[in-house]
Amino acid sequence: MAVDTCIKPKYHDDGEDDDEPMIFKRSKTTSKQNQLNSEIKKVSSQRPDGPSKRPTPDTSSPNCQSSSLQKGKVVSIAKTPASKSLIANSKASTSLADKSKQLPRQNSGINNIEKKPLNKPPIKPNADSEDSDDDKPLSARLTVATATSQKSNASNVVKGRSSSIPSSSMSEKARVDIKKSSEDSEDEIPLSSKFQLKSGAGSSVKKSYDSDEEKPLASKIQQNGSIKKENEPLKSPKVLNKRPLCDINTSVHSSVKKPKLSDASVSAKVKQVSVKAEPKKEDDDDDVPIAQRMKKSATSDSKSQSMKKTITKVVSSSMKKTSKKSKKVMKNSKYSKSTKLQPSSGEGQKWTTLEHNGVIFPPPYKPHGVKMLYNGQPIDLTPEQEEVATMFAVMKDTEYATKEKFIENFMNDWRVILGRNHVIKKFELCDFTPIYEWHQNEKEKKKQMSTEEKKTLKEEKLKQEEKYMWAVVDGVKEKVGNFRVEPPGLFRGRGEHPKMGKLKKRIRPSDITINIGKGAPIPECPIPGERWKEVKHDNTVTWLAFWNDPINPKEFKYVFLAASSSLKGQSDKEKYEKARLLKDYIHDIRANYTKDFVNKDLMKRQIAVATYLIDKLALRAGNEKDDDEADTVGCCTLKVENVELVAPNKLQFDFLGKDSIRYFNTVEVELPVYKAIGQFQTGKKDGEDLFDKLDTSKLNAHLKELMPGLTAKVFRTYNASITLDEMLNKETKDGDVAEKVVVYQHANKEVAIICNHQRSVSKSHTAQMSRLSEKMDELKALLDGLKTDLARAKKGKPPLKDADGKPKRNLAPEALERKINQTNAKIEKMERDMKTKEDLKTVALGTSKINYLDPRISVAWCKRHEVPIEKIFNKSLLAKFAWAMDVDPSFRF
DNA sequence: GCTCTGACTTGCTGCGAAAGCT
DNA sequence: AGCTTTCGCAGCAAGTCAGAGC
């Protein structure tokens, strides 16, 4: 159906889908959403709301300083502003360590902390308290000594380590001593390692509010050596051994986390709590605070006035709709899985009307007829066989093509298609080169096409896809995210994924379930003669279509709306509101877990320590994984060998996290934490769970007792956002826009490091750097020449000849001095650029910007400092964060 | 109480287009 | 103008977490 034709006018989507205006449409709708809000809301209503109440933190030392440490060396760093320099390969300095000692240790108070029922919204005395350390990311508060993380790979590291005594058999002391050395060759340092955390994480509790408290602990980390991951072969942190499922007798608690002890009382409690937290009633009032806040800001922002009008309109209509819905949900439920209904809320409804055109399929395979060789002989393949051979051939120059597992899985699946009696049997005899070359050739041809041809092609594609690009949700035209069905290919799992290389078969309409509004036209199946697997009308979910993942049929691939849609925007906003709410609770939460470091109940102790690590290091929760997934861990799934004690009170982490990215970091921790970790390790072997009494659901259940809706991942959002907020506030000085943008990038970088967001070094990095240093040499030579000329000019002598032996122009000393100054400036700039380039070569800034930094912080900061928001957000981020654009300039996280 | 399922968020990479440089 | 570098975005893998069901 011609979506746009009918829609545009109606929804004032004046046209162009292209962007922005649309975005604002339903922005303020508070209605539907948020179950979570509902939980939160109540609470949030109690927090001081306006930004205005927020004192500007003076915060002496940001956590973010990044002094550089030599990898491997454990160094604690104090919050020295000076240390802010970027990553850097500087050496660790003992003085830094000393400094850290001088930091007021919040520790002391630990024992004094009274246990308060965190559950009540700890009403924070607003203002002042906010600047206390509590609001800082924990990590920020600590001194992380060395930290490094890097993309998987570190086999050497691993080896070095593993050769050491099995931790299980070591005494705590023994363990402590071992670690250090080996691995830390500079290269292997992961991002996080580049920082240091300030010391004193959880301890904050008592001493409170002076400087660091509100910062994310993590933010206080400092960088240390350089990260390197470049082309290293996948290294394995100590972890690499796959979960030894069976090889360990104690396996019960080891890799296979099975039944864990659980504290009945706790869980029971939890349940209650969480249920309580969600009662719908709250919605109403709950919405208040947030909405109010938004309103406020909107009002104050004169610029947004005009926009607001539009928005309001739209909003109101959608709000109406939404409110109607809630009741419907129940009714509709019969179509959806009944299971989906939210027991306590009835507000699971996500939309009232939904129209879209389904999905588009990749074109059928076109055989090329190029023959591969087997044992030197050209081989005839059927189109189906050729298709799979081609999938492999085109990956010839990727690392995958050399991986044993990849090849094995590929061959297994290909053999099925080749059939039992096919001549092709052994991979070693296969030569895919002809196909590979054909493919390269095709690529080249494409490249050589004229601009015109390219344009035409693009337009054709657009024409075909246009209708799939849009959906109409509750009367509003919204962009669809991934409306293209994934083409067949070989599965490229990350890290050492056991299924890499398997064939992802072609998805057909009969694999796809469509979700669409009742009464809306059912999308036509684009492949003649075929039909959808199923059509549902489930308005409690946001997906438009899904199919089963061909690699893991138990899992699904969904088609959702684009990030710029209001449905997504809404949940984004809720996410940040929840994180902001944590600010009000963090003080008590830290006090609570600090107290529990020594709790007699082992599970409680583990929860306390795990929460501390999540808070301080921004670790992920760490769900259990199946054996047919890559062997990575998060906090709850840390294995004994992933953490080593470094006397007197440091922990060295080394594991593969999400996406098999290595996390390698040495951090100074509270002594009780240090001791507790030692206890958790005692009597266990490598491969066993460090937190054997814990899993993510227990941990999250516990967190919910402390704050409605709190889960492990909220800490990441909180720590990232608060770090940005504080750094921006503290470091922005008068200056031109460019300088301010640099401040922003710096803050962004700190967050990326806290979150361990890495990227691989671009292939051309080295070349680029050497080109730059060549230029630098030239500049320096030029400078020398100028200086010589100047000296001569002052004596009335003519300049020396240039490199080619040609005479140079005779310049006056003043002119030469000017030139010298210019050249110096150029050199400085180039040095800065080179440093930045080097620093950021392995740091990915985008991920945190997209997922962790409350856009309102950035928008408000831009408004306050007259930085055009476009300098910070690109087009798609502007669209995604439309809901944040009218924030009050005084907004603080 | 635990496991499994389902839904949704987070994360990195690679490709193509745009921007910058010579 | 042509080449290089950066940027934006699509693609899709891999997490988190809630809730149902056994």
* Residue with smallest Cα–C1' gap to B4: A554
The mean pLDDT of A805-827, rounded to a whole number, is 79
| A568 CB and strand B closer than 7 A | yes
- State how far the Cα of A373 lies from the Cα of A328, in Å rounded to an integer: 62
CA–CA–CA angle A836, A72, A758 (5° rounding): 40
**pLDDT score recorded for residue A347:** 59
Nucleotide nearest to A262 (CA to C1'): B1
More confident residue, A314 or A512: A512
The mean pLDDT of A320-347, rounded to a whole number, is 32
The mean pLDDT of A174-196, rounded to a whole number, is 37
Protein-nucleic contacts, chain A 666-695 to strand C, CB < 7 Å: none
The mean pLDDT of A670-685, rounded to a whole number, is 95
**pLDDT score recorded for residue A245:** 27
A28 secondary structure, DSSP code: T
The pLDDT-based confidence of A93 (bands split at 50, 70, 90) is very low
Return the domain boundaries, chain A: 373-561, 567-710, 735-884
In terms of average pLDDT, the best of A103-112, A334-343, A375-384, A868-877 is: A375-384
The mean pLDDT of A372-380, rounded to a whole number, is 96
**pLDDT score recorded for residue A804:** 64
Distance A765 CA to C4 C1' (A): 12
Distance A550 CA to C12 C1' (A): 13
**pLDDT score recorded for residue A22:** 31
**pLDDT score recorded for residue A601:** 92
Protein-nucleic contacts, chain A 23-52 to strand C, CB < 7 Å: 35
Protein-nucleic contacts, chain A 569-628 to strand B, CB < 7 Å: 571-572, 575, 620
> For tokens 């138990």, what's the residue?
A554
**pLDDT score recorded for residue A137:** 45
> Among A486-500, A542-556, A824-838, whose mean pLDDT is lowest?
A824-838
| A738 CB and strand B closer than 7 A | no
The pLDDT-based confidence of A525 (bands split at 50, 70, 90) is very high
Statement: residue A360 has pLDDT above 50: yes
pTM for this predicted structure: 0.70
**pLDDT score recorded for residue A760:** 82
Give A548's strand partners: A556
Work out whether strand A512-515 and strand A534-536 pair parallel, antiparallel, or are unpaired. parallel
Statement: residue A589 has pLDDT above 90: yes
The mean pLDDT of A624-648, rounded to a whole number, is 92
Q: Do the first three CATH levels of A373-561 and A735-884 match, i.e. the same topology?
A: no
Protein-nucleic contacts, chain A 59-118 to strand C, CB < 7 Å: none
Yes or no: say if A110 and A597 are a contact pair by the CB < 8 Å rule.
yes
**pLDDT score recorded for residue A189:** 43
* Distances, alpha carbon A557 to alpha carbons A265, A502, A545, A547, in Å: 38, 17, 8, 5
> For tokens 């709950």, what's the residue?
A286
Nearest to A490 by CA among A590, A563, A412: A412
Percentage of chain A lying above the pLDDT 70 cut: 60
Distance A120 CA to C20 C1' (A): 29
The mean pLDDT of A377-393, rounded to a whole number, is 95
A536-572 residue pLDDT tens = 999 999 999 999 999 988 889 999 999 999 899 988 9
A207-248 residue pLDDT tens = 333 334 444 444 443 333 233 333 333 334 443 333 332 232
Nucleotides on strand C lying under 7 Å from protein C-beta: 4-21
- Tell me which architecture the domain covering A373-561 has in CATH: Beta Complex (2.170)
Nucleotides on strand B lying under 7 Å from protein C-beta: 1-14, 16-17, 22
- Tell me which architecture the domain covering A567-710 has in CATH: Alpha-Beta Complex (3.90)
**Rg over CA atoms, chain A:** 30
The pLDDT-based confidence of A458 (bands split at 50, 70, 90) is confident
Query: Could you write out the three-class secondary structure of A488-538?
Result: CEECCCCCCCCCCCCEECCCCHHHEEEECCCCCCCCCCCCCCCCCCEEECC
More confident residue, A702 or A160: A702
| A494 CB and strand C closer than 7 A | yes
Percentage of chain A lying above the pLDDT 90 cut: 40
Distance A851 CA to B10 C1' (A): 7
Please give the single-letter amino acid code of residue A124.
K
More confident residue, A149 or A373: A373
> For tokens 């206390």, what's the residue?
A132
The mean pLDDT of A146-162, rounded to a whole number, is 37
Give me the active site residues of A, please.
Answer: 852
Please give the single-letter amino acid code of residue A698.
K
Yes or no: say if A498 and A405 are a contact pair by the CB < 8 Å rule.
yes
A788-797 residue pLDDT tens = 888 888 888 8
Distance A750 CA to B6 C1' (A): 35
- State how far the Cα of A415 lies from the Cα of A385, in Å rounded to an integer: 9
- Tell me which architecture the domain covering A735-884 has in CATH: Orthogonal Bundle (1.10)
Query: Could you write out the three-class secondary structure of A96-165?
Result: HHHHHHHCCCHHHHHHHCCCCCCCCCCCCCHHHHHCCCCCECHHHHCCEEEEEEEECCCHHHHHHHHCCC
Protein-nucleic contacts, chain A 476-505 to strand B, CB < 7 Å: none
